[in-house]
Structure 1
């Protein structure tokens, strides 16, 4: 059982590391800070609740069952952190948010203090690592302590369910998906963990034995519920940058044909990048380098090549946009050949703005790169000069350099 609980704690811990990868920025963002606090406290709850941890804590302190108030206090702190996270996530006037956060912290601070006081007053000399809730269900002060921590956790989960239901009707996209995961986790916590705990404790009060609900059913349900809630909290925050990095890496690879063609004339320096910014930073550097190279190749643009290929593409049924891209790709191939051969600029050279320089972001460059590798582009060149420039530049390319 301890191994499963420790694995759940490890998942929580890794999630907090991803969220807290920029400590300076995170410390200034209440939402990121409260998310990390909730996730870390959730991990600590699992660590404290493991039987191996409970036995170690009891041995170190010399107090039987000292791990119980430690675990219950940590669970109450986690419940408070979840409420604080919901408050920061929902937003609103700063004064109102601050007031609600302070009230939540004060309420659960009193709860933790009450748990400690009740444990101090109770007579719990027999160490119980897995069935403490049911074993001491009828013991004075221990009974109240157990009921108090359950009620405090139930209040937090029920508030979470209500907020997720209400807010889920007002938002969409990833935020709604995250709220649904949180709601599912909270419901699983209420029904799978709390209800089974309440049932087992009440059964003890009435002279029945349903301890297996508390010792066997409740722990895995709590683990699964906490993981779902954690996924719901971090999904709207982690998935967008992950998708952005993935798209950046895809665009970076799709720009390779264009970069291989213009790399010899690019003079843009390569900036240092952090590992978590690598795909997007490399894409930005490649964009800058390609634009720099396009400026260097502009004097070699032969507009006769562009116009002939464009007209041929239009007659072949291409759309105006596709015909323009095909023509610009042919002109760029011809310009790269001239620059590599150190030829004089063509007599028809003049100012022309490529489509790739008219749109923001890498989409225009990606379209131009893909036009370079389309087989029909070479076939559309109507004369030998254009066809030679297009096929020749591809037949004898410079050795590509991958940034």
Structure 2
């Protein structure tokens, strides 16, 4: 069996975790002081690091690069232990409101798991493991003094974290109403169940070695797939509540942002009533959408003295004979706003009989329909010319 034959199963979850981490990174940069954001980012980072490290090719590379046989063991097990601690703190963070009690519990978890990581390095330093073992280290050195303790330490730390987290989730899940969070908790429970199967398979194989029996296949062939399922499902469980609402909201915001583009371009030369905040293209989508909506609303307020509602009703009446209600409404608004922009540029507001100009709901409540119509400028120009020609014919008559 070559070193790359078991590498592929680790690739997909690694890619998914890296994508999730990249999506979360802008939030971390903006709000790194938020403990919840830091906890989520750390968890994703540790999960990705675990998958990168446990691939057989990565284990061999680390061993050969450092020149220390099996140094990948404490490195990988330390990352796994830190990931277990991060999972526990994340569950605590979700379950409890910010409080001194929650902070104390999180500090206690990290104190315990930091001690376990120090124990892993100390036991490895005391052990005699000269022969590199990539696939069967746990069983090959199951009876080696200090390496035995090293292996049992990481396995029991993993098992205890899975049991404690599963217990906390089981007591809490019935009280959860948020759909994304509940889905995440279901994935977590499934992941921890597979993790316990991994632990049991490993411990059974190690115990068999102590009695002189060779059940190494439990450790080398049965346990690894359950470990992959465990880490993948746990990763998904923590990602869903965080990225689920974002992914649900992002397509709608992206569609609205794209829909409003023609209207925003039409009114872009209308001077704002106040200095406009500069928002770059790399700013979050929701912030850019709010800026676009604000700019459009502000421009329409400036255009109010130039909006001719007689033109709007005439255009709506003409368009209604050929198009649906929403499309006719959008075309009428597009014709009216285009004419208002032209009037604004020429500085020729319509006569309002000294009454303050106001925006009609016909305009303000159908911005998206109006902007959709502006995606077809030829149709808007054609309708405007038709309405103008009709008005002129009526006037001359």
The TM-score normalised by the length of structure 1 is 0.77
Counterpart check, 1:288 vs 2:312: no
Question: CA 1:349–1:199 in structure 2 vs 1: closer, same or farther (change >3 Å)?
Answer: farther
Counterpart check, 1:129 vs 2:98: no
For the residue of structure 1 that corresponds to 2:175, the secondary structure is: coil
Moved more, 304-313 or 346-355: 304-313
Return 5+ residue gaps in structure 2 as ranges.
393-397
Moved more, 162-171 or 11-20: 11-20
For the residue of structure 2 that corresponds to 1:189, the secondary structure is: helix
Q: In the TM superposition, what is the alpha-carbon distance from 1:75 to its structure 2 partner?
A: 1.8
> C-alpha offsets along residues 142-183 of structure 1, whole Å, 9 cap, x if unaligned?
333322211110111122222233332222221112222222
Q: Distance in 2 between matches of 1:271 and 1:222?
A: 48
Question: CA 1:189–1:357 in structure 2 vs 1: closer, same or farther (change >3 Å)?
Answer: farther
Give runs of aligned pairs for residues 129-148 of structure 1, distance below 5 A: 129-148=134-153
Question: CA 1:292–1:133 in structure 2 vs 1: closer, same or farther (change >3 Å)?
Answer: same
Contact conserved, 2:88 with 2:161, CA < 8 A, in 1?
yes
The residue that corresponds to 1:182 in the other structure is 188
Moved more, 64-73 or 225-234: 64-73
Question: CA 1:113–1:315 in structure 2 vs 1: closer, same or farther (change >3 Å)?
Answer: closer
Q: Distance in 1 between matches of 2:362 and 2:88?
A: 48
Contact conserved, 1:115 with 1:149, CA < 8 A, in 2?
yes
Give runs of aligned pairs for residues 15-164 of structure 1, distance below 5 A: 15-164=20-169
The residue that corresponds to 2:395 in the other structure is none
Contact conserved, 1:302 with 1:348, CA < 8 A, in 2?
no
Q: Distance in 2 between matches of 1:294 and 1:42?
A: 49
Question: CA 1:289–1:47 in structure 2 vs 1: closer, same or farther (change >3 Å)?
Answer: closer
Contact conserved, 1:302 with 1:346, CA < 8 A, in 2?
no
Q: In the TM superposition, what is the alpha-carbon distance from 1:189 to its structure 2 partner?
A: 2.0
Q: In the TM superposition, what is the alpha-carbon distance from 1:233 to its structure 2 partner?
A: 1.3
Q: In the TM superposition, what is the alpha-carbon distance from 1:217 to its structure 2 partner?
A: 3.0
Contact conserved, 1:301 with 1:349, CA < 8 A, in 2?
no
Contact conserved, 1:20 with 1:32, CA < 8 A, in 2?
no
Q: Distance in 2 between matches of 1:76 and 1:384?
A: 73
Contact conserved, 1:122 with 1:140, CA < 8 A, in 2?
yes
Q: Distance in 1 between matches of 2:66 and 2:379?
A: 78
Say how many residue pairs are matched.
Answer: 381
Contact conserved, 2:318 with 2:387, CA < 8 A, in 1?
no
The residue that corresponds to 1:273 in the other structure is 280
Question: CA 1:341–1:41 in structure 2 vs 1: closer, same or farther (change >3 Å)?
Answer: closer
Counterpart check, 1:202 vs 2:207: yes
Contact conserved, 2:91 with 2:169, CA < 8 A, in 1?
no
Question: CA 1:331–1:54 in structure 2 vs 1: closer, same or farther (change >3 Å)?
Answer: closer
Contact conserved, 1:137 with 1:204, CA < 8 A, in 2?
yes
Q: In the TM superposition, what is the alpha-carbon distance from 1:222 to its structure 2 partner?
A: 1.7
Q: In the TM superposition, what is the alpha-carbon distance from 1:322 to its structure 2 partner?
A: 10
Counterpart check, 1:299 vs 2:305: yes
CA RMSD in angstroms, aligned pairs only = 4.0
Q: What is the aligned counterpart of 2:236 among 231, 238, 244?
A: 231
The residue that corresponds to 1:369 in the other structure is 371
Question: CA 1:225–1:29 in structure 2 vs 1: closer, same or farther (change >3 Å)?
Answer: same
Return 5+ residue gaps in structure 1 as ranges.
390-403
For the residue of structure 2 that corresponds to 1:175, the secondary structure is: helix
Q: Distance in 2 between matches of 1:372 and 1:89?
A: 45
